[in-house]
Amino acid sequence: MSQKSGYTGPLEQVGTCQWRIPKSYRDDMRVDGLIFADDKLIEQIKKDQGPEQVANVATLPGIQRASLAMPDIHWGYGFAIGGVAATDPEEGGVISPGGVGYDINCGVRLLRSNLQWDEVKPRIRTLVDQLFRDVPTGVGQSGNYPFEKPKLAQLMEQGVAYVVKQGWGTPRDVEFTEAHGRLDGADPDRVSDRAYSRGYDQCGTLGSGNHFLEVQVVDRVLDETAAEVMGLREGQITVLIHSGSRGLGYQVCDDYLDVFKGAPKRYGFSLPDAQLACAPVRSSEGQAYLGAMRAAANYAWCNRQLLSHQAREVFARVFEVPWEQLGMDLIYDVAHNIAKFEDHDVGGGCCKQVCVHRKGATRAFPPGHAEIPTAYRGIGQPVIIPGSMGTASWVLAGLPGSMTQSFGTTCHGAGRMMSRTAAVKLAAGRRIDKELDALGIIARARGHKGLAEEQPAAYKDVDQVVEVVEKAGISKKVARLRPVGVIKG
């Protein structure tokens, strides 16, 4: 499917920031499509085939309630990025690698500190340069933590607790990571030798594309109570880390897309797009992929844990005190590309366990939910929304509306509105690093192309995106963070 042409099908406004693609649009749709957006964003969203992909996902066997998309939706592989779908395994519900994505458990984590901007400002260039020297970034960069196959298998099975046991973190890091940094049922034996070889020396590396490590300042606090619980205050320095499962996760996705090619025919259903390749959750193919996907997700959590450890060490070196004295605790870590089994109301008061695909979307459980840390149950799960390089990021908290409207889910970022090729073309003859420097943001990258691809103009307005999810009642604003230093691949 080409993403170049715009969407011309039906879109009906059915609520505050909600637009429906009725299942009557196409004979093969099993449920409606539902996109969260305001009047301005919906016009941007219609410029590519993202809404058509929402309709395509609505054809999946076993899909429940609706095929959903967040306001940062844009065209992707199979599912739109920003897509959410829940399937019921007891009704032949499927699992789709395209509904998780190539970068399995791409996600973000936020560290706080007791440093204020006034203290850091005189040393910000030194700090960013040291981070760029010490934290491996870019395509093919080897990390500082190679894991031979037996240890890598343990890491993929145990998740964050494994690397914390090696001394690269604290028990608190485990507690404040989504799912405690470990999906049960991970099966390293379902991960190919090729994936093992790609993951051997990439844990603790940032990678390329839209991944980054940012030093940020809390720009403003909008919910004093929630911010206090999270330990956030205006003028404070935070560190935001955005990365995933690197080459290992990519290889797992690639391997199983190949396995799933013939599955629809074998199990007696057809798909409108080959990129939606899927198999019933209860099938041998589905179970094999789930075991491998969970292993890759655990690897990604370990990757972000090791990136945190390295960032803490740099701060300790630059400020000449242990990182613990700098108060560099983990606020939370959330996944963006994952499939998880959760209990949800699927309509009519019927609650059951479903397989929730989040492809460029963030879990946003509300206050009181048993799966979020005890410390946050009074305010809702922290949701971390990275902006584009050079623009603000946000901390949100989950609201009850997420459970009734979006399978406990909200947006994951600003969302692209320009291809990487177009962004590079737009940057011709410019120095994005110099432009960012003029805005007070120190940027370091392996090359000019990476900065050009991720320039702010390539993305939607993140402030507008989070405004939509707040108006829709699925998550609320807690604090806005502005970048002062960033490293990229």
Of the candidates 211, 242, 369, 412, the residue annotated as catalytic is 412
Q: What is the 3-state secondary structure (H, E, C) of 1-25?
A: CCCCCCCCCCCEEEECCEEEECHHH
| Collapsed DSSP state (helix, strand, coil) of residue 35 | strand
Helices and strands (H and E) in the chain: how many = 17, 19
**Helical H segments across 373-487, by residue range:** 401-405, 420-426, 432-438, 448-453, 462-471
Instruction: Show the tokens assigned to 182.
Output: 């470990």
Residues written for the chain: 489
DSSP string, 101-146: -SSTT-EEEEE--S-BHHHHGGGHHHHHHHHHHHS--STT---S--
Residue 263: burial class (beta carbons within 10 Å; 0-12, 13-18, 19+): buried
Instruction: Show the tokens assigned to 407.
Output: 């399978």
Beta bridge partners of residue 21, listed in sequence order:
33
Does residue 242 have an active-site annotation? no
Nearest one of 442, 311, 331 to 389, comparing CA atoms: 442
HSE toward the beta carbon, residue 51, CA cutoff 13 A: 29
**Distance in angstroms (rounded) separating the CA atoms of residues 471 and 466:** 9
Nearest one of 233, 235, 238 to 222, comparing CA atoms: 233
Active site residues: 412
